[in-house]
Structure 1
Amino acid sequence: MLMLRIVLMTLAVAVAMPATAQEKGTSTMEILRQKVQTDKRLLVAANMDLTGPQEKAFWPLYDAYQKDLEQIDKRLARVIAHYADAYNQGAVSNETAKKLLDEALAVEEAEVALKRSYVPQLEQVLPEAKVARYLQLETKIRALVRFELADKIPLVK
């Protein structure tokens, strides 16, 4: 459980933090993202109880899903950054609040659509119970990340 919390807190920071510092062509953000991906992969592996053939078929799907999820995370990070900019300027206008809300909801919808799009592929390589387990793990991880973000992001003024 401690490892899960560490992974999730790191992931929350990775999603919310803009990539700015550069070190030898690799940003600090990129290093953090790679660390989170490795830790998350270990967490999923430890909880999936995959057989050899299942592992061979699952991990390429997992990698593809994570790549697609990364695009959603980038959208979420942009929404958070836009909100931070608006919030730091004082009271957020109704127009800005509406735009941010619409984009935040679109991000959530995109995440659900992504899950739905991967279910048939996962069902081809895993029994339904393991598909459900994997999506539960993803959902739990994402819920904890969202909780960490919600805890750090102030309410609209």
Structure 2
Amino acid sequence: MKRILLILLTIALVIPAMAQPEPNKQQQRNQRYQQIQSAKIAFFTAELELTPKEAEEFWPVYNQYWKERETVIRRVQGTLRNINRSLKGEQAMTDTEFKNQLEIYISGSSEEGAIHKGYFEKFLKILPPKKVAKLYVAEEEFRMKMIHQLRGTGGPGTPSDQKQPK
């Protein structure tokens, strides 16, 4: 009797747990994106040493800057994926289509440069030049930090980056 009761209790606990829907890939991606953005804000705030007034003015401008850059970056990455698929034989592409895709890729670089230039002026209206310089350095450091985390190396100077004794 105890054995049957234990089995029924186990089933009663396991079935609802199994019935919980797993988060779909898009939800997982969105959650990961939010985590990265939160880490980015914390990292930049520490690196730039923003005053409360600077932070209040800086973040809305920076968020718009990043949104514009991200739009261009995603378009360029999509173009490169299309080109790569075609080069691997996964999708057919004519010379005209290759040319069009390459023009989109090249124009993306120009667009991103224009975004950098426009926002450089906006950042200088909010922050002193030294903090704007820190911003660009912090962006690159954060990007490298994320790459190392994704690769599982942790980055330069971390225990996982150092050789283990044999």
Q: Distance in 2 between matches of 1:123 and 1:60?
A: 14
Q: State how 1:6-155 maps to structure 2 within 5 Å.
A: 23=23, 26-89=26-89, 94-139=95-140, 144=144
Identity in percent: 22
Structure scoring higher RCO (CA < 8 A, sep ≥ 6) equals: 1
TM-score if structure 1 supplies the norm length?
0.63
Q: Distance in 2 between matches of 1:123 and 1:114?
A: 14
TM-score if structure 2 supplies the norm length?
0.60
What does the per-residue CA deviation read over 1:44-65, in whole Å, with 9 as the maximum and x for residues that have no partner? 2221111222112111111111
Q: Distance in 1 between matches of 2:69 and 2:117?
A: 13
Q: Distance in 1 between matches of 2:84 and 2:141?
A: 26
What does the per-residue CA deviation read over 1:9-67, in whole Å, with 9 as the maximum and x for residues that have no partner? xxxxxxxxxxxxx9469533322322222222222222111122211211111111122
State the match for 1:13 in structure 2.
none
**Number of positions where the alignment pairs a residue of Structure 1 with one of Structure 2:** 125
Q: Distance in 2 between matches of 1:25 and 1:128?
A: 41
Structure 1, unmatched stretches of 5+, are 1-21, 149-157
1:88 positional shift = 2.8
Q: 1:136 to 1:79 in 2, by over 3 A?
A: same
Structure 1 letter corresponding to 2:69:
L
Residues 79 and 105 of structure 2 are in contact (CA less than 8 Å); yes or no, is this contact kept in structure 1? yes
Structure 1 letter corresponding to 2:116:
K
Residues 43 and 142 of structure 2 are in contact (CA less than 8 Å); yes or no, is this contact kept in structure 1? no
Secondary structure of the residue aligned to 1:27 is helix
Task: State which structure, 1 or 2, has the greater radius of gyration over its C-alpha atoms.
Answer: 2
Moved more, 106-115 or 38-47: 38-47
